[in-house]
Chains A and B, each alone.
Chain A
Amino acid sequence: DAGVIQSPRHEVTEMGQEVTLRCKPISGHDYLFWYRQTMMRGLELLIYFNNNVPIDDSGMPEDRFSAKMPNASFSTLKIQPSEPRDSAVYFCASSGLANEQFFGPGTRLTVL
Chain B
Amino acid sequence: KQEVTQIPAALSVPEGENLVLNCSFTDSAIYNLQWFRQDPGKGLTSLLLIQSSQREQTSGRLNASLDKSSGRSTLYIAASQPGDSATYLCAVSGSARQLTFGSGTQLTVLP
Interface residues of A (CB under 8 A from B): 31, 33, 42-43, 45, 48, 50, 55-56, 91, 93, 95, 98-106
Known: A43-B89, A101-B34. A56 touches B43 (CB 8 A): no
Interface majority SS (helix, strand, loop, mixed), chain B: strand
A91 in contact with B32 (CB, 8 Å): no
Interface residues of B (CB under 8 A from A): 31-32, 34, 36, 42-46, 49, 89, 91, 93, 96-104
B42 in contact with A101 (CB, 8 Å): no
Q: CA of A100 to CA of B50 in the docked complex: distance in angstroms? A: 9
B44 in contact with A48 (CB, 8 Å): no
From B31, B43, B89, B91, A106 is in contact (CB under 8 Å) with B43
A99 in contact with B32 (CB, 8 Å): yes
- Measured between beta carbons, the chain B residues less than 8 angstroms from A100 are 32, 34, 46, 49
